[in-house]
Chain A
């Protein structure tokens, strides 16, 4: 019972208020009227929907990169290394996440900035003669986003790889399957629920991230969450901001639904 009270008071109730707010629009006379104008604005103004598409594509890319980087790690920890070191390695993976995201992002900034650590060493080694700006571009922003989301991919991957019996791989190998075939026909299908749940979490976190794009992306990073913040804080237009918030919720849910359909996966199976 307390869980329903919790959900109702902290999640449902505020969303109802935001939803009502998103349906009100200030007309030219300065009166608040019921209208879908706030939603219309999103589609009418190019920058808003273009930003959303850009952010959605970047989030898909980040999700994919995170998977590509973390899968070998998860595989190594569960299947290759001896059981003795497994717990220790998992702790090592978790350790960076004991400090807050803000501190980790600042860590990257100290490394990458023009007067930063990497530039210092490159100059000291004589590889470059003028510091190069490595921050404030899309590459560093994506790297930061991948770094912040790795944990949320690696944990579900480890747990689903853990449940997989090694004898499947051995049997396939004995029957003459190549490594690539084993990977695509045995390992991937077996771990699919873990991949799906990890991907959903990473995709949602990236799409809803505010801090990393803002600090590491700099001048070009307009993330959709930042537009919501701007509507609320800079323009004092809460109605527009609320509408953007709901559009983010609806559109991202739609993308996930589409992803599940295309890969023929099932949400309940992924979360079990």
Chain B
């Protein structure tokens, strides 16, 4: 018995010492945000081992809330989902902007993110990449698609797909000629608007093929022609366009929805220095350009634009006219109460017959 105890103590110390010797950096991120080549380059330069966990906004918040901000060294939430969550659950650490090489970041974007993630006197995030949600369309089979309202159009019955998540509610609200962002501050008016949106989505439920949950699965369905009109991210549409010129991303008439994803450091992060190292590494122009060329998302890195493939620029210009760019609706920070309203509405739509 005594022998067993000694062996187990020895094993534990051995295990923990090997864990400490190899410095690790645990990143909670989205799929595609840390390309393999860049991870390897970072590991080689710094000797820090990178561990990636793929997630989305809602799960990121829930995971960090469950551990009260422990378990990860770096997270990548969208800029609009930080301030209210931080005020309530305190899951992030205030950033030390002096540790970030801010000459590498596009100034206007950095300032906007700082402002939108402010709680008290401190800010909590640095921009990493941006993109838009709009329509991914098979222009041959569905040539007249112009706006989100086509997601409810009976003439594409059984060929429509969208996510049953908050961006869809917001998109439909915009296509009704309303401005949901202006109503963020007024819970009653927002609820009334969303009830109207829910009514439309319920009425159009027979026309939708499915509510997609996985971006790759959606691209698969558009590729095979099973879906001809979908709401999705711009880079997905451009990826498909490269394979088949009939498929493309379209900026909707009532405005593409613009998001910015960020870096934020969880409040109980162990390797804070490593996290700053990663931020500064991935925003270096050559690395950021590699990321954008690889994934198709826009980058917040300052010098990267000059290093982008011509094809990426062509994608952007084909989908966005000057007017479309001016019409992009950037998400303002989400106030607390809204998620509860939206959650109930989404449940109602899903259970409707």
| A residues apposed to B, CB below 8 Å | 30, 45, 47-48, 50-51, 113-115, 133, 135-136, 214, 218-222, 226-227, 230-237
Contacts and interface: CB of A to CB of B under 8 A. Distances in A.
Given A47-B348, A47-B351, A235-B340, A133 B209 contact: yes
B109 interface: no
B294 interface: no
A237 B336 CA distance: 11
Interface in B319-337: 336
Interface string B299-338: 0000000000000000000000000000000000000100
Contacts of A226: 350
A220 B226 CA distance: 18
Contact of A218 (B211, B225, B351, B353): B211
Interface majority SS (helix, strand, loop, mixed), chain B: helix
A237 B347 contact: no
B210 A234 contact: no
B209 A136 contact: yes
A230 B62 CA distance: 11
Interface of B: 58-59, 61-62, 65, 85, 158, 165, 205, 208-211, 213, 224-226, 336, 339-340, 342-344, 346-348, 350-351, 353
27 contacts: A47-B351, A48-B347, A50-B351, A114-B226, A115-B224, A115-B226, A136-B210, A219-B205, A219-B208, A219-B210, A219-B350, A222-B350, A230-B346, A230-B347, A232-B62, A234-B339, A234-B342, A234-B343, A234-B346, A235-B344, A236-B58, A236-B61, A236-B62, A236-B65, A236-B85, A236-B340, A237-B343
A152 B282 CA distance: 50
A47 B224 contact: no
Contacts of A219: 205, 208-211, 350
Contact of B339 (A30, A48, A236): A236
B347 A227 contact: yes
B210 A235 contact: no
Contacts of A113: 226
Given A133-B158, A220-B353, A230 B226 contact: no
B347 A222 contact: yes
Given A218-B209, A219-B209, 5 more contacts: A113-B226, A218-B210, A219-B211, A220-B350, A236-B62
A135 B205 CA distance: 16
Contacts of A50: 351
Which of A113, A231, A236, A237 has its CB near the most chain B CB atoms (within 10 A)? Answer: A236
A133 B208 CA distance: 12
B113 to A, nearest CB: 22
B58 A234 contact: yes
Contacts of B347: 47-48, 222, 227, 230
A221 B352 CA distance: 10
